[in-house]
Copies of this chain bind each other. A is one copy, B any other.
Amino acid sequence: MSKELTSRAEDYSQWYNDLVIKGGLADYSAVRGCMVIKPYGFALWENMRDQLDRMFKETGHVNAYFPLFVPKSLFEAEEKNAEGFAKECAVVTHYRLKGDPEKKGKLMVDPEAKLEEELVIRPTSEAIIWNTYKDWIQSYRDLPLLINQWANVVRWEMRTRLFLRTAEFLWQEGHTAHATKEEAIEETVKMLNVYAEFVETYMALPVIKGVKTANERFAGAEDTYCIEALMQDGKALQAGTSHFLGQNFAKAFEVQFLNKENKQEYVWATSWGVSTRLIGALIMAHSDDQGLIIPPRIAPQQVVIVPIYKGDESKPAIDAKANGIMTALKAKGIRVKYDNSDTSRPGWKFAQYELQGVPVRIAMGLRDMENNVVEVARRDTKEKSSVSMDGLADHISNLLEEIQDTIYQRALAFRNENIRPANSWNEFIQLLDEKAGFVSAHWDGTPETEEKIKELTKATIRCIPLDNKQEEGVCVLSGKPSTQRVLFARAY
């Protein structure tokens, strides 16, 4: 096949790009920092999105849609949030183009169509949403408000990478309002657990649940909870965040409610989000030098059937048999494709579906048919086996579950092998440089030390794991006393 891939050992970053582009997931666009999500990549996102959406609805949330634009005066209302995002805001200043009098056929911004107030393109929607909640919330009867939005957002990043960091990306953002602090914190943790369950069960990617340090918190949050995953190159990736926002936005937008005791109180808030970035995590966690490996539960195609014709006369018999298999698989809800196109040879197709990470490939030739078998190849282990056509659908259905589990267990073993304790600064540096992965180390709890460690090593505190063991120790850098270890890593 013509689409040669860079290997991970050769250049991990180029390997990743090759997989995204040659695997047909996404492409660069003419707009700086923005990508095109191609049909295969979008089908993957649809499967992820639909499952998350089901989980949000099962936990009592409803969807809504808020404006793309945030007037500057609203954007700046919650100061920390505004400060955190100001540097990466795309800003609309005009609402009209007109013919350029100096260049025929060209357009220019019409200087007479300048907006009185500039509009920020939402980098996140707390401001516009809390400004709306003000009108929706009067009494405790209006609470809780459990709303999610699927949307595009824009953060003007200087260095972009397909899926991992793009100027525009797709995400969901939940924004909830509660009568009490306890209930808001409960919601924050509940949604963190939903994310963890989704990423582990559907994306086959183990995560560590934890809390961010003050330095790494979402701008405007009181606490940021996160799930952290480990990539094959030993770098960590933040896969989702859930924020307890306290009363910060309620105060900034004057959102009060009449409580049961007939007193005005500020509302308590959460927000939580995951994005198309998850696709980047998926690729980097599971794939290999031959291409993508996609867990069956979210794979756009779970099975592909490739016929091995021997002369035109073999076609009708093989096609008929393949259609029977298709029907049986579809009846089990399996997403299956029959590729009998004559534009490429079986070997090319094999490589193509390997590159695209289709979990199971079934090949069927004349001799197979005579023996009442097909060849079944697993993408994850590359094992091939000859399987009887009798009960094939059941076999495939079980195999897909087995593949899902194998991919997860492999990632879990890798992740667990790559959490290492460091008890001195030398050990800390050595582990980061030689082994990468998570380094579990004592830290004195100050932002200054955290900042210093980042400067010296590029490693950040990924999280303080939930239910962390409390133990006496001394900070790896400052030597000051510490009560618990935290997880450091270099990260995407």
Contacts and interface: CB of A to CB of B under 8 A. Distances in A.
Interface in A356-396: none
Nearest to A74: B30
Interface string A99-118: 10000011101000000001
A92 B90 contact: yes
Interface in A97-145: 97-99, 105-107, 109, 118-121, 128, 131-132, 135, 141
A85 to B, nearest CB: 8
A289 interface: no
B75 A107 contact: yes
B66 A29 contact: yes
Interface in A170-191: 170
A428 to B, nearest CB: 36
A79 to B, nearest CB: 6
Given A82-B107, A106-B76, A39 B64 contact: yes
A74 to B, nearest CB: 6
Contact of A89 (B95, B151, B154): B95
A38 interface: yes
B96 A89 contact: yes
Contact of A107 (B76, B95, B105, B132): B76
A124 to B, nearest CB: 14
A225 interface: no
Nearest to A106: B76
B109 A91 contact: yes
In the complex this chain forms, how many copies of it are found? 2
A67 B160 CA distance: 14
Given A74-B30, A168-B69, A96 B87 contact: yes
Nearest to A69: B31
A87 B82 CA distance: 31
A3 to B, nearest CB: 15
A416 interface: no
Contacts of A63: 39, 42-43, 46
A141 B343 contact: yes
Contact of A64 (B42, B71, B132): B42
Interface string A76-90: 100100110011111
A119 B36 CA distance: 16
B97 A34 contact: no
B107 A68 contact: no
Contacts of A482: none
B65 A170 contact: yes
Nearest to A63: B42
A234 to B, nearest CB: 31
Nearest to A95: B156
A109 B118 contact: yes
A43 B62 contact: yes
Contacts of A43: 62-63
A142 B454 CA distance: 48
Given A69-B31, A93-B93, A86 B62 contact: no
Nearest to A85: B97
A132 to B, nearest CB: 6
Given A86-B96, A87-B96, A91-B95, 18 more contacts: A27-B132, A29-B132, A30-B74, A30-B128, A30-B131, A31-B71, A36-B66, A39-B63, A41-B64, A75-B97, A76-B106, A83-B99, A86-B98, A90-B95, A91-B93, A96-B156, A121-B121, A141-B343
